[in-house]
Structure 1
Amino acid sequence: MSNHNTFYAKASSPALNLIKNSWRTRKYLFLIPAVFSAWSFLLLISFINPQFSLETLYSTGGDGDDLSIVTTETNSISYNPIILDPLPPLQDLFVWPPNIRRPLCLPKIFVYPDSAKMGEFQVTEVPPMGTNYVAEQILLKQLRDKASDVHKNYVTENPEEADFFYVPFLGSKYLADCWFTKGIKGDCDVDEKYAEPMMNHIQRDYPYWNRTLGRDHIITHPMDSTSLYYKSRARMQNATFLTTVGDRRVVFGVDGRSRRYGDIVIPSSTALINLAHVNGADYLTVDGQPKSGERDIFLLFGGRYQDVKPEDSYSSGIRALLFNGLDQQPDYMIASSWSNPEYIGLLTRAKYGFAPQGYTLDTTRIWEYIAFGVVPVVIADGIIEPFEDDLDWDSFTVKIRREEAHRMDEILRSISAEDYEQKRQALWSYGRQALLDHGAWDLIVRALCRKGRLEGMRTITRDQHEQLGADTLILRSQETLDAYL
């Protein structure tokens, strides 16, 4: 027998086997007190918290849901948010949205004078009418008022040094006078009596249109169908249109009603603000709150809705929701219309103002809301708001998609009081500058600067520009500045 086999036989003797088995058993004896200690610990926890049990522990199935709830309740840890030092402020040129008092460029605009060649209507004084289509008249008046900031900042009397040319086209004034004053339907011979004579005069009696085929000219079309009212619109197409219709939807681009890169979207006028000359600031405190009482109306809307069905093309059916329960909410105020005194009182009390699309995506109500510090609720998928390149509309409006419109009440009530107040303050201190009688021309000119590739330039003559100074500010009268304070 070999030495190896002899050792193996000895190691396999009964005595050695007993010793070996005894050692193996003793090696794991420490597990007994460990298991006992763990069991005692679990019993102690179950005594302290009767809701805890091994059954609860095992029932989690590894996903941790039930256990996490118990752990959170029994071992809650207070969390103190980390507040870091604020970042230093940026220079104006790096901030968005920008300070519109710092101009993007300072161009010169020549305004064509009135002439009998423009048609008999152009030199006839038509009394104001109760329509929402007077934006063209407001903008033209601001340009021609030599005492206005707009005239002082941008207008030149010398067409040879102008970067842009403003055509005093008042097509909506012509049509409104025909439809609402004279009661005539149809196109009212607007082309023969007004549009054609106007364009003939501009294109034939002056040399400036033909220099660029009209690309440096400006024409205002503040009605729903923009230039589609005129058969002679092809003659106007190269001009930049100032329009209240801003629409990204394909159908409006195809029919030419909304030209994404050919138009500048401007605010609409309203009968309350621009014809009755009601100033919302007169009814509110300096920070935009009611002078008496509080904003106890949750949502306000006045307009057409009772005959609208969900499948209608008008408003894409959105206004049908108002006649489907929302008009019964105790803190909503919804009606077809009110008198001006009633409406003013309601505007001072409202938190939110409903601004759904109608025939077009824009609505004049939004400007009444903004003037009275009411946060607009916009439901108009694809809308291009005025001056989106310079105004942060999200900061002072609530936008809801059409597919979520049925949840409007839920969405609005989920907005915290702090978030609402932040929007309201932004609206009052910042959003109002878009109004026609506030900073509209400053914002229009910024858009013209981009179209004319004049960023950072000041006009000296038509063919000569110089760099703007870093400290250049747009001139504003004290009266205009006070309107923002």
Structure 2
Amino acid sequence: MLDNFRIFVYSSDKTVNLKSPVESLFHASLMNSPFVTRDPDGADLFFVPLDSDLSTRSTSHVVRDLRTELPYWNRTLGADHFYISCSGIGYESDRNLVELKKNSVQISCFPAPEDKFIPHKDITLPPFITYGLVEPQAPVNNSAKYLGFAKHGALKIPEMVVELIKDPDFLIEQEPSNRVTYEERFRSSKFCLFDYEGDVSGIGEAMRVGCVPVVITVRPIQDLPLIDVLQWQEMAVFLGRDKGGVKELKRVLGSVSEDRYEKMRGSGISVGRHFMWNDPPQLMDSFHMVMYQLWLRRHTIRYARRDWV
């Protein structure tokens, strides 16, 4: 991949405006990477720069211009193209948007907006860590003081939060802490709780220090970061929101054997480096893992050209 994968970036008349830090970092890393080529005929994929706040009409015009002015879109109806959009592209009747939505690879932020993500085609970026851990070292075995920990903003279930605060087996952070305290709380807990509808940005951090993530959700999750390459069931516990509250949560966590727990913990630690964003990028970090997922999608179906009504 490092030697052969090439991406052609369509030129833009202005600087691309991306709102989230992780979008901006991925875009900057891509533009400064050796993957970018000036030879479109030798490219495996094509990158379409889109502003974060670009209207659907303007997005349609971008695709229309690619179709009419250059030959590359029409060869696959956009199937060898990709773009970044945290908000996602919805289902529209416009021909240009239909092709972009159905064929091109959308790179979204995690979690992706519901109904704006197509599994097995689209990709989510690993969450951006506002501040990293000092030394990503896992705690020694049996050093966990708490069964579970949830950081500020990670749970969006008020009744569960109230119950967990009263339970001595859990540590619930009600206000954001500083970096050192935050790190120590991750290290002192066996499991780290995340609500899929809340703040999930700490999942990668949790795994890096040996805190097994517990993801609470009301629907199947198909947009997990690096889902093409990671066996999430071997690293995390998934629990339905309506499955009995705290009582069921404690039952599920208590049913995890020590052997299974250590395997999950070890798996999380071993893949922790894949959830680190570096500037400049380093091998096997978040940027390169996203690029690897794009590389897996480089063999596209060449649709036959057809007339449109």
- 8 Å contact 1:268–1:364 — kept in the other structure? yes
- Higher-Rg structure is 1
Displacement of 1:157 after TM fit?
A: 2.7
**1:279 aligned partner:** 132
Identity %: 23
**1:158 aligned partner:** 39
**1:107 aligned partner:** 5
| SS at structure 2 position matched to 1:299 | strand
- 8 Å contact 1:227–1:257 — kept in the other structure? yes
Whether 1:337 aligns to 2:175 is: yes
Pairs within 5 Å for 1:10-409:
106-116=4-14, 122=15, 133-145=20-32, 151-152=33-34, 154-171=35-52, 175=53, 190-191=54-55, 195=59, 198-199=62-63, 202-223=66-87, 226-228=88-90, 233-234=97-98, 236-237=100-101, 238-244=103-109, 252=114, 256-269=115-128, 273=129, 276=130, 278-280=131-133, 282-285=134-137, 288-289=138-139, 294-304=143-153, 319-341=157-179, 342-358=181-197, 363-380=200-217, 381-384=219-222, 385-404=224-243, 406=245, 407-409=248-250
Question: Hey, what's the Cα distance between the residues in 2 that align with 1:373 and 1:350?
Answer: 9
Question: Hey, what's the Cα distance between the residues in 2 that align with 1:135 and 1:364?
Answer: 11
**2:254 aligned partner:** 413
- The one-letter amino acid paired with 1:325 is E
| SS at structure 2 position matched to 1:160 | helix
- For structure 2, list consecutive stretches of 5 or more residues without a partner in the other structure: 279-283, 301-309
Deviations 1:66-105 (A, max 9, x none): xxxxxxxxxxxxxxxxxxxxxxxxxxxxxxxxxxxxx699
- 8 Å contact 1:244–1:267 — kept in the other structure? yes
- 8 Å contact 1:296–1:349 — kept in the other structure? yes
Question: Alignment RMSD, CA only?
Answer: 3.7
Q: Evaluate the alpha carbon distance shift between residue 448 and residue 320 of structure 1 in structure 2; reply closer, same or farther with a 3 A threshold.
A: same
Deviations 1:30-79 (A, max 9, x none): xxxxxxxxxxxxxxxxxxxxxxxxxxxxxxxxxxxxxxxxxxxxxxxxxx
Question: Hey, what's the Cα distance between the residues in 1 that align with 2:210 and 2:231?
Answer: 16
Question: Hey, what's the Cα distance between the residues in 2 that align with 1:233 and 1:369?
Answer: 38
- The one-letter amino acid paired with 1:301 is A
In terms of fraction of residues, the more helix-rich structure is 1
Question: Hey, what's the Cα distance between the residues in 2 that align with 1:350 and 1:417?
Answer: 14
Displacement of 1:218 after TM fit?
A: 0.5
Q: Evaluate the alpha carbon distance shift between residue 166 and residue 410 of structure 1 in structure 2; reply closer, same or farther with a 3 A threshold.
A: same
Residue-pair matches, total = 286
Q: Evaluate the alpha carbon distance shift between residue 229 and residue 332 of structure 1 in structure 2; reply closer, same or farther with a 3 A threshold.
A: farther
| SS at structure 2 position matched to 1:422 | helix
- For structure 1, list consecutive stretches of 5 or more residues without a partner in the other structure: 1-102, 117-121, 146-150, 176-189, 309-318, 455-485
Q: Evaluate the alpha carbon distance shift between residue 343 and residue 451 of structure 1 in structure 2; reply closer, same or farther with a 3 A threshold.
A: same
Question: Hey, what's the Cα distance between the residues in 2 that align with 1:195 and 1:444?
Answer: 23
TM value normalised by structure 1: 0.50
Displacement of 1:205 after TM fit?
A: 4.8
- The one-letter amino acid paired with 1:242 is I
Deviations 1:168-221 (A, max 9, x none): 3241xxx5xxxxxxxxxxxxxx42896467546645554322332211110112
- 8 Å contact 1:283–1:348 — kept in the other structure? no
- The one-letter amino acid paired with 2:124 is V
- 8 Å contact 1:104–1:449 — kept in the other structure? no
- 8 Å contact 1:246–1:265 — kept in the other structure? yes
Q: Evaluate the alpha carbon distance shift between residue 305 and residue 157 of structure 1 in structure 2; reply closer, same or farther with a 3 A threshold.
A: closer
Question: Hey, what's the Cα distance between the residues in 1 that align with 2:121 and 2:56?
Answer: 26
- 8 Å contact 1:108–1:163 — kept in the other structure? yes
| SS at structure 2 position matched to 1:165 | strand
Question: Hey, what's the Cα distance between the residues in 1 that align with 2:294 and 2:89?
Answer: 19
Displacement of 1:294 after TM fit?
A: 4.3
Q: Evaluate the alpha carbon distance shift between residue 194 and residue 405 of structure 1 in structure 2; reply closer, same or farther with a 3 A threshold.
A: farther
Question: Hey, what's the Cα distance between the residues in 2 that align with 1:296 and 1:229?
Answer: 48
